[in-house]
């Protein structure tokens, strides 16, 4: 009996990696961008969703980021982005890069903010947000990192 159990186990063992491979989680594609604001260079990791892919199709972009509500820097985009499959809203936190669908603008948060309907998260800054806290309008160059 022990021989048969060992034989069955030995025959089944090679099938396990293929089965495990079928159910292994697939790694999401990550995209990186570089934001150049004056002398400061920031990087960010973007989410893989329809709105983000549409945003990336606009890059490279040079935008003027304006202060808004002492919480974020905003800028109009050349056109509205797709919000297909996007949640109806989200809570924003410092470092979030978002798209505000009702106005069609990019919003980069340097302070936490509560829930906002129509806000779609595109990604998150990899480092600090201090460069976004500079007063007044800021020129920013946004490029996809290859």
Q: What pLDDT is stored for residue 30 in this prediction?
A: 76
18 in a domain, yes or no? no
137 in a domain, yes or no? yes
pLDDT in tens, 123-144: 999 998 999 999 999 999 999 9
- CATH number of the domain to which 45 belongs: 2.40.100.20
22 in a domain, yes or no? no
Number of domains in the chain: 1
Q: Residue 113 sits in which domain range?
A: 31-145
Q: What is the mean pLDDT of the chain?
A: 85
With a cut of 60, say whether residue 21 has pLDDT above it.
no
14 in a domain, yes or no? no
pTM reported for the whole predicted model: 0.79
Handedness of CA 23, 87, 42, 110 (dihedral sign): negative
94 in a domain, yes or no? yes
């Amino acid at each position: 009996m022990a021989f048969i159990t060992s034989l069955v186990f030995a025959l089944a063992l090679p099938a396990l990696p293929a089965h495990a491979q079928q159910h292994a989680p697939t790694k999401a594609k990550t995209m990186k961008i570089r934001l150049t604001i004056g002398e400061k260079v920031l990087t960010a990791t973007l989410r893989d969703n329809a709105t983000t892919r549409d945003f990336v199709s606009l890059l490279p972009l040079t935008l003027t980021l304006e202060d808004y509500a002492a919480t974020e820097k905003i800028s109009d985009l050349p056109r509205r982005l797709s919000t297909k499959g996007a949640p109806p809203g989200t809570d924003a936190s410092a470092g979030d890069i978002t798209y505000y669908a009702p106005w069609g603008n990019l919003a980069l948060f340097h302070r936490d903010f509560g829930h906002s309907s129509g806000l779609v998260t595109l990604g998150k800054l990899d480092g600090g947000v201090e460069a976004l806290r500079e007063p007044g309008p800021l020129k920013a160059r946004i490029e996809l990192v290859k």
